[in-house]
Structure 1
């Protein structure tokens, strides 16, 4: 068997109507790349690194690197902070693994809200949570699904970004860490080790490459792994989960599971993370026996 995944390309379509999106993608929970959907946004022409240095250069931003989970940190606690201007300078100098993750930039720079429009595609988006994500050339985001099971419109700006998605139907083969929404962090989704992680052979991943202005729809609970092929940034617009079981799981994750995981990190330290790694392998490989 080939030592790489056999990917399916995510469907790409031009601008969708509300009815087309709901019938063909939202109701069947099918990912899609939508082009020509934001060309009428002022952001389409304005949003680039130079513009961000002007309007947000003095803002302090949260940064993450490629290290594995650190038991001394809470879930999603940043590794560093610095000004946006300094961070963009680093991005423009060359490859770096430093990323901005889950940052509500438009809350800190509300004038940017006038540059965008909320897509009217039939789902109610959370207008207080337009989150941005940045990365330098080669930066990677660990394969994960979102804690609250949202529907997401992920709109890319600047450069090019690879996106790999995996259906929730394949979660049982993803070596998901207990009390978490990450897979085992030793898995390299660019070069998977099928000997160490044999269940991955049963995963059927989807792939696409986003360029400036293109929008990826990610349905509820879909796993995603992102790799920045060039420096760039993306805007994610999200809704609450529409499926009752996903809404309940999301609420449980936010209200209970993440706090339990943080408590166990404080109580057990590295032994807790080692347990989760071992248990992810044991549980997943047991399905193959």
Structure 2
């Protein structure tokens, strides 16, 4: 579609047919903006952020039906960015992470999940028994003889808990993570029920998503994991979650500070490589700006998550944490239609890279990549059709 408007002396029927729908979509976008709905583009997806209860079912249906029109309009309205859908259009102003309560699942989907906006939900796990029972002393007393691996070192849990309780800003302990609760502490699953409302339609748990080469990672990320650390401990890496998965972190004991960066900040965060979800910056709290000068342009968003609170970290959002007290949390990853495209791209890349026998046959690799992506595209459509959302 041309970026040049027709003149009065050159107003043929073709140009009229172009201008009319553009004016219609312009009016629709203006109406959305008057409702404080922010629109932007990420990849080839239309993203949005709106105040609660602003987007009625009718408006959502119109946005879905007119997605391609809106995308074209946003690109044409920003000609400097027209060559790339990766460029952000009408960037939403993310300066804080909201804390909300009594959030319905529908409100969560419309205001946070689909627009990829982080949020802290203050009452999502209010009925968990763990809130009144899980403490460092609880794990030391009841599971002290359990062996856990922390930073490639084996500990009896009682000895690691001693390190947690002695940890401080000057001498922080290591971070217990990647610990599968169903595998190591199956009897504790009853303490963390009911299931988190906002993760109820998690495609990672669908038996239809069975890909043998990827299943170990899928299974580890789909289930609940235990996180334990002491005061002053920091998560070791600034990252976003593997395969662009969403993350829910449920804080059970203690307080934890999250530092987040929007995906549009990526150019300032020094990813290991173009497809990496990890930053080269070893400590964002004490960055070496001579080595990483662009980091000075990054805009962090900080929020303290307290016991009983749950933070939703959307796909592609960079984050890391710092313990303000001894801390116990539970985490899980989530896959829905909102992050399926990025997930498919990441998984396709990793699967193609795993076929070392094709490395010297670019043609075979191209066909393989096309077949995998086509399979995932069709699988995504099937999962969408089965999703009640």
User: Could you say what the CA RMSD is over the residues aligned between the two structures, in angstroms?
Assistant: 2.4
Contact 2:239 / 2:279 at 8 angstroms: preserved in 1?
A: yes
The structure carrying a bigger strand percent of its residues is 1
The separation in 2 between residues aligned to 1:58 and 1:255, in whole angstroms, is 39
Q: Any residues of structure 2 matched to 1:109-258 within 5 Å, and which? A: 109-116=185-192, 117-121=194-198, 123-125=200-202, 126=204, 129-141=223-235, 142-178=237-273, 180-186=276-282, 188-240=283-335, 242=337, 243-252=339-348, 255=351
The separation in 1 between residues aligned to 2:299 and 2:147, in whole angstroms, is 39
- In the alignment, is residue 106 of structure 1 matched against residue 182 of structure 2? yes
The separation in 2 between residues aligned to 1:254 and 1:42, in whole angstroms, is 39
Q: Post-superposition shift, 1:192?
A: 3.2
Residue aligning to 1:19: 106
The structure carrying a bigger helix percent of its residues is 2
Q: Post-superposition shift, 1:210?
A: 1.2
Residue aligning to 1:82: 155
Q: Post-superposition shift, 1:191?
A: 3.3
Contact 1:241 / 1:247 at 8 angstroms: preserved in 2?
A: no
Q: Post-superposition shift, 1:51?
A: 2.1
**TM-score, length of structure 2 as denominator length:** 0.57
**TM-score, length of structure 1 as denominator length:** 0.75
Residue aligning to 1:283: none
Residue aligning to 1:92: 165
SS at match of 1:15: coil
The count of corresponding residues between Structure 1 and Structure 2 is 239
Higher relative contact order (CA 8 A, sep 6+): 1
Q: Post-superposition shift, 1:22?
A: 0.8
The separation in 1 between residues aligned to 2:288 and 2:353, in whole angstroms, is 29
Q: Post-superposition shift, 1:240?
A: 2.1
Partner deviation per Cα, 1:117-166 (whole Å, 9 max, x = no partner): 21122652356510122211111112111112211110112221110111
Q: Which blocks of at least 5 consecutive residues in structure 1 are unaligned?
A: 1-6, 65-77, 261-289
Contact 1:175 / 1:184 at 8 angstroms: preserved in 2?
A: yes
Q: Which of the two has higher C-alpha Rg?
A: 2
Taking a change above 3 Å as real, the CA distance of residues 54 and 259 of structure 1, as seen in their structure-2 partners, is farther
Q: Which blocks of at least 5 consecutive residues in structure 2 are unaligned?
A: 1-93, 206-221, 357-389
Contact 2:281 / 2:292 at 8 angstroms: preserved in 1?
A: no
The separation in 1 between residues aligned to 2:165 and 2:117, in whole angstroms, is 35
The separation in 2 between residues aligned to 1:146 and 1:258, in whole angstroms, is 20
